[in-house]
């Protein structure tokens, strides 16, 4: 079922949570709302669900205007970060809840409820736990039960608020892969909120990057990562380094490095900031023709598959951080305190009118 969000605004006291947000989500998609805390992503999710009402704007679910509909009538599934399982009910009763509270006419028979719940528990691979209470389950199990419970009422859309936020790193990684597979299996239109870029990049079909109550960019994980629309998106997805300089008629000068930036051909000697992802900073022993800056190695962090090197650039340009593979690191045989050359690749230049 598609979701159409039109000019939604919401304010809490003096705090503007959402500012004329519009968004289209097609049927069967798995969309991530990604942003820092306070960006309005959870508020937007709650407005879609009907748990919160917007000050202005409309929500259409599958073409039907549901803005005025009560949360009960919207046929959404909602999964909370802290699961919100009914603590005094068994796993079975938790999953059955949505079926048991249906009005008499539409309520399935006891046998049907049993069958449906068993099917859902099988789907989330927790058939054996149906008589347990929530406090007897691990975090990952609780979250899967919460998901089964939300799916029991056959929602038209599934909304998940930081679904993996309360889990430890390993369970988290496992569960998000599992969610991706589950979504491929049942294909219900899903929206999940996260502040973890890695999670969004890995799980979602499309990512909606939000900041300060506004949508910064919408696109597939590859689109938002490779072609960030603005410095915020660039900065939020992965580690970046900043180089300050000036841009004049498409030529960028970054204190030692000269680059071309055709998109800024009309710029007339304006201050600009160049952004380079940490893994796009190449460390070399020799000075390069393509333009590189001399730098001193300040710190080496060599734990894990990626080696992080902090360098101080010559000429008061501040510190940068480069990420290189273990192999490259060993080939270069870098030592702390050495002078090397840093060459940026894939530089993105933004004229300085945008503050992060």
Partner 1 sequence: MPDTPRRNMHKDITEPAPVRWLLTGLAILFLGLFIFIPLLAVFTQALEKGYAVYLASLGEPDTLASIRLTLITAAIAVPLNLVFGLAAAWAITKFRFPGKNFLITMIDLPFSVSPVISGLIFVLIFGLQGWLGPWLDEHNIKIIFAVPGIILATIFVTFPFVARELIPLMETQGREEEETALVLGANGLQSFFRVTLPNIRWGIIYGVIICNARAMGEFGAVSVVSGHIRGATNTIPLQVEILYNEYNFTAAFAVASLLAMLALVTLVVKSLVEWKIREQMVYEE
Check if the beta carbon of residue 274 is closer than 8 Å to that of residue 348: yes
**Minimum CB separation from partner 1 for residue 183, in Å?**
19
- Choose the stretch contacting partner 1; rule: CB under 8 A; options: 72-80, 203-211, 250-258, 288-296: 72-80
Question: Does residue 72 touch partner 1 according to CB under 8 A?
Answer: yes
Give the footprint of partner 1 on residues 35-64 (CB under 8 A).
Answer: 49-51
Question: Does residue 150 touch partner 1 according to CB under 8 A?
Answer: yes
**Minimum CB separation from partner 1 for residue 32, in Å?**
20
**Parallel, antiparallel, or unpaired for β 189-194 and 30-34?**
parallel
Give CA–CA dist 66/153, Å, rounded: 18
Among 15, 22, 87, 177, which residue sits at the site for partner 1 (rule: CB under 8 A)?
87
**Minimum CB separation from partner 1 for residue 172, in Å?**
20
Check if the beta carbon of residue 295 is closer than 8 Å to that of residue 320: yes
Among 98, 163, 213, 344, which residue sits at the site for partner 1 (rule: CB under 8 A)?
98
Give CA–CA dist 323/91, Å, rounded: 46
First to last CA, the chain: 36
Among 1, 16, 71, 300, which residue sits at the site for partner 1 (rule: CB under 8 A)?
71
State both tokens at 31: 């969309």
Among 78, 92, 192, 341, which residue sits at the site for partner 1 (rule: CB under 8 A)?
78
Give CA–CA dist 149/293, Å, rounded: 57
**Minimum CB separation from partner 1 for residue 17, in Å?**
14
- Choose the stretch contacting partner 1; rule: CB under 8 A; options: 84-92, 197-205, 217-225, 312-320: 84-92
Please identify, using beta-carbon distances, which residue of 50 and 163 lies nearer to partner 1.
50
- Mark 103-142 with x for binding to partner 1 (rule: CB under 8 A) and - for no binding: ------------------------------x-x-------
Among 20, 22, 27, 82, which residue sits at the site for partner 1 (rule: CB under 8 A)?
82
Check if the beta carbon of residue 287 is closer than 8 Å to that of residue 257: no
**Minimum CB separation from partner 1 for residue 68, in Å?**
16
Identify the CA nearest to 278 among candidates 350, 202, 346.
346
Please identify, using beta-carbon distances, which residue of 20 and 73 lies nearer to partner 1.
73
- Choose the stretch contacting partner 1; rule: CB under 8 A; options: 22-30, 95-103, 205-213, 241-249: 95-103
Three-state DSSP class for 29? Answer: coil
**Minimum CB separation from partner 1 for residue 19, in Å?**
21
Give CA–CA dist 227/110, Å, rounded: 53
Please identify, using beta-carbon distances, which residue of 41 and 317 lies nearer to partner 1.
41
Check if the beta carbon of residue 214 is closer than 8 Å to that of residue 8: no
Among 97, 119, 235, 282, which residue sits at the site for partner 1 (rule: CB under 8 A)?
97
Q: Strand runs (DSSP E) across the chain, as ranges?
A: 3-12, 15-25, 30-34, 56-61, 64-65, 76-79, 157-161, 189-194, 206-211, 214-219, 240-248, 251-253, 258-260, 270-277, 281-284, 293-301, 306-313, 319-325, 339-344, 348-351
Identify the CA nearest to 354 among candidates 154, 212, 221.
212
Residue numbers at the binding site for partner 1 (CB under 8 A)? 49-51, 71-72, 76-78, 80, 82, 84-88, 97-98, 101-102, 133, 135, 149-150, 152-153
């Amino acid at each position: 079922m598609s979701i159409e969000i039109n000019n939604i605004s919401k304010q809490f006291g003096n705090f503007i949570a959402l500012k004329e947000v519009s968004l289209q989500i097609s049927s069967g998609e798995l969309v991530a709302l990604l942003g820092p805390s306070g960006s309005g992503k959870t508020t937007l999710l709650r407005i879609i669900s009907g748990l919160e009402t917007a000050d202005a704007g409309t929500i259409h679910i599958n073409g039907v205007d549901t803005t005025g509909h009560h949360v009960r009538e919207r046929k959404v599934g909602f999964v909370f970060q802290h699961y919100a399982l009914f603590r005094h009910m068994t796993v079975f009763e938790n999953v059955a809840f949505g079926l048991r509270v249906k009005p008499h006419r539409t309520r399935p028979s006891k046998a049907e409820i049993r069958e449906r719940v068993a099917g859902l528990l099988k789907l989330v691979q927790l058939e054996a736990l149906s008589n347990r209470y929530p406090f007897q389950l691990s975090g990952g199990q609780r979250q899967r039960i919460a998901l089964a419970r939300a799916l029991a009422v056959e929602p038209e859309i599934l909304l998940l608020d930081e679904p993996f936020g309360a889990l430890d790193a390993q369970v988290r990684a496992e569960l998000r892969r599992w969610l991706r597979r589950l979504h491929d299996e049942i294909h219900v239109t899903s929206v999940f909120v996260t502040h973890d870029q890695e999670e969004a990049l890995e799980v979602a079909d499309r990512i909606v990057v939000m900041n300060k109550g506004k949508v910064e960019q919408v696109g597939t994980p590859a689109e938002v990562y490779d072609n960030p629309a603005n410095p915020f998106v660039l900065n939020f997805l992965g580690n970046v380094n900043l180089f300050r300089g000036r841009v004049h008629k498409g030529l960028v000068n970054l204190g030692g490095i000269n680059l071309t930036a055709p998109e800024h051909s009309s710029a007339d000697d304006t201050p600009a900031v160049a952004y380079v992802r940490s893994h796009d900073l190449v460390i070399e022993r020799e000075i390069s023709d393509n333009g590189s800056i001399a730098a001193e190695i300040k710190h080496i962090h060599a734990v894990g598959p990626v080696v992080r090197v902090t360098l101080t650039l010559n000429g008061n340009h501040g510190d940068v951080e480069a990420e290189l593979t273990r192999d490259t690191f060993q080939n270069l045989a870098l030592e702390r305190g050495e002078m090397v050359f840093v060459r940026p690749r894939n530089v993105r230049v933004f004229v300085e009118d945008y503050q992060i």
